[in-house]
Amino acid sequence: MSAKAIILSVGVVLGAALALPAHAQATKAVPIEEAFRNSLAPLPAEPLAVSGSYYVPAYSSVSMSEGRLHADFSVTLSVHNASETQLLVVRRIAYFDTAGALVENYLKAPVALKPFSTVEVFVPASDSRGGTGANFVVDWAATGEIAEPVVEALMMGSLANRHFAFISQGRPIRVIGGK
């Protein structure tokens, strides 16, 4: 597919998503365990030997025009199991606001993602709790060697007659500066 076709496809999808009525965007979220039932497997019986965390910036609101104007964006956080053979246990998906306060935990208990499967969290543009510095923390684990998960957020929104869509990639949380 050519770059022009991809851009056109993204524009059509973005336009369709932004055309949703307000009540469709503000409906109560279905729990991950229910919404992504086909992506999940039973938790492994073996001990979890490796683990990590990702920090994902989520720009739910962006200041424009020297701070005089704000554009609000919907956010879709996706957690992808990049392993073809191993289960990925997602222990926590937490959403924080600009001040670092916990806004919402999206998991009641850990879930295991099947190989190459994905779970998502959706924050509608009408949900302004995160503010301009919103972020997610995703904690994961596995029973052994595994491909690192892919965690990213897609922001979509509009301002006047302009539509915006961009991605924020998760970054592994690593402690630095130690002995």
- Single pTM value for the model: 0.81
Mean pLDDT over 73-96 rounds to 97
Each residue of 2-38: pLDDT tens digit?
444 434 334 444 444 444 433 334 446 788 999 999 9
The lowest-confidence range among 2-16, 44-58, 141-155 is 2-16
Report phi then psi at 5, rounded to 5.
-65, -40
Mean pLDDT over 150-177 rounds to 91
Mean pLDDT over 163-167 rounds to 91
Residue 62 pLDDT:
81
Residue 40 pLDDT:
97
Question: DSSP alpha helices (H): ranges in the chain?
Answer: 3-18, 22-25, 32-35
Each residue of 63-79: pLDDT tens digit?
777 767 778 899 999 99
Residue 2 pLDDT:
43
Q: Is residue 161 predicted with pLDDT exceeding 80?
A: yes
In terms of phi and psi (left: phi > 0; alpha: psi -120 to 50; beta: otherwise), the region of 13 is alpha
User: Hey, what domains does the chain have and what are their CATH numbers?
Assistant: 29-172 (2.60.40)
